[in-house]
Amino acid sequence: MTDKKTKPIGFFDSGVGGLSVLARFKNVLPNEKTIYFGDTLHLPYGNKSKKELIGYAKNILNFMEQKEVKAVVIACNTSSAQAYDSIKNEFEFPIYPIIQSCASGVSKLGIQRVGIFATEATVNSHKYADELIKQNPNIKVKEIPSKNWVGIVENNIPNIDEAKANIKYEIEEMMKFNPDKIILGCTHYPYLMNEFVKYAPKEIFIDPAEIFVEYIKNNLEKKGLLNNEPSNSQTQEEFYVTSSPDAFLKNAKIFYEIKNAPALVSN
Ligand code: DGL
């Protein structure tokens, strides 16, 4: 019987955004085998209904179950906000949702005014605000849905005038709230950092991936699931998408270098 510790860990997102989490994870835990699933057929998740998002998450988790993963990382804020609560008890393996896993780490930063940029579906759920207020009832939160940003990242067009103007407008709106920190509440957004820093200081932005990966590492360790056998993780990774493998391969580079085109699966 294969040791559970050496089984892969699943990651999923609507597209390349979750690779910002995977990249950090690989740096911290290079021994782990990984399976990344980009649900590109249903991208963007940000304008989908709760029912649709629960359906996508279930299908992906069933796929991961067949792959015999030891855990799944929801490297997508939208799915964490809208689907996690409905599916969390349906699977035997641990499931790590980005928002809920990061809230206590963020609140430990001792900040009082928090801005959150996220997709429409994440903002509508108010999951981030709820989780932060649970940790610190005095915290003041402002959530702004940045509807165009996932498209800007997936099409790799941060330099066109329309994209620049939109980013400028949204950041300036957020700065009126006078936040101590601004959470990038969508795993696609760290790619836009070069634009963000034109309108706000770099230190104000939080990419929750760092806190998230630390949380996953500690939790896997507690559960005795960390893989201690040294291995070359680059040769131990698989990628799957639900449409356009070539576009994914090309665009993935913004976060993580993938060697081979991902496999196309119907899900
Ligand atoms: N990257 C995802 C998130 O963190 C989803 C973005 C989308 O597809 O709208 O929310």
- Using an 8 Å Cβ cutoff, are 9 and 72 in contact? yes
Closest among 35, 213, 42 to 119, alpha carbons compared: 42
pLDDT of 233 strictly over 70: no
In this structure, the residue with its CA closest to atom 2 of ligand 1 is: 76
- Using an 8 Å Cβ cutoff, are 141 and 174 in contact? no
Give the number of the atom of ligand 1 that is nearest the alpha carbon of residue 44.
8
pLDDT of 197 strictly over 90: yes
pLDDT of residue 267: 72
CB of 76 closer than 6 angstroms to any ligand 1 atom:
yes
CA 261 to CA 234: how far, in whole Å?
Answer: 14
pLDDT of residue 108: 85
pLDDT of 23 strictly over 80: yes
Which listed residue (19, 54, 76, 241) is catalytic?
76
Query: Please, what are the domains in the chain?
Result: 2-97+212-264 (3.40.50.1860), 100-210 (3.40.50.1860)
Please provide the size of the chain in residues: 267
Residue 186 catalytic?
yes
Residue-wise pLDDT tens digits, 82-103? 999 999 999 999 999 999 999 8
Percentage of the chain lying above the pLDDT 90 cut: 90
Decide: helix, strand or coil at residue 115: strand
Burial status of residue 214 (CB atoms within 10 A of its CB: 0-12, 13-18, 19 or more): middle
pLDDT of 232 strictly over 80: no
pLDDT of 255 strictly over 50: yes
- Residue 1 pLDDT grade (very low, low, confident, very high; cuts 50, 70, 90): very low
Residue with the larger pLDDT of the pair 200 and 110: 200
Compute the half-sphere exposure of residue 42: CA atoms within 13 Å on the CB side of its CA: 24
Section 56-76 average pLDDT: 98
- Residue 245 pLDDT grade (very low, low, confident, very high; cuts 50, 70, 90): very high
Give the number of the atom of ligand 1 that is nearest the alpha carbon of residue 47.
9
pLDDT of residue 30: 92
pTM reported for the whole predicted model: 0.96
